[in-house]
Amino acid sequence: MVVTVPVKGYFEENAFFFIDEATGHGFAVDPGAEGERLVSLVREHGWILEKILLTHGHFDHTGGVAAMREAFGCPVLAHENAKDYAQNPKWNLSVFCGTPILLDDLTLVRDGDEIPLEADPAVRFRVIHTPGHTTDSVVYYHETGGFAFTGDTIFKGSIGNDRFPGGDLRTMLASIRTRIFTLPPETVLYSGHTGETTVGAEMRGWRW
């Protein structure tokens, strides 16, 4: 199951939990703020958090990482280009919005990597590199479940901002067309700042 938890630091963002109902194990995706609240939620439900997955390095998707890593000791996964953002408060935008956020000790992944659930390796996500909003943007696609976490590359009825460091509109449009729109049309998309949608719905409304 997917649990959506809106969190708010400088502004609101969707944090997610993917929890395998058979085992109670799962992943956190983009814990952007309110880390202690997210920790409490995991403990309240008795979930076993195996990994934290980051769709990209902007501070509003990473602000709760420190609290969650301290509480559970789980690895934090990000695309290999995350080095552009992890130790650069200007690129991850945190310098403009309060206390700079720095990330270290990341487990780097590449396009095409498979991320299995340790409790059941048949449950896995595929990493799909979708640069354009940032150089390290990725989608985590669960083929069996029919859904994907898209970060800020595509939203319900809109697309990500290309004007931040490392952003490029042409690259982002290509990522959407060739990486996201090639997924099955019924695939549910969970984004960082809007409600859920599907590949098919976004293809029908495509205007860029």
pTM, two decimal places: 0.96
Q: What is the CA radius of gyration of the chain?
A: 16
Encode pLDDT of 29-86 as tens digits. 999 999 999 999 999 999 999 999 999 999 999 999 999 999 999 999 999 999 999 9
Inter-residue contact 107 to 53 (CB < 8 Å) = no
Share of residues in the chain with pLDDT > 90 (%): 94
Overall domain count for the chain: 1
Q: What is the mean pLDDT of residues 123-151?
A: 98
- CATH number of the domain bearing residue 184: 3.60.15.10
State the residue range of the domain holding 187: 2-204
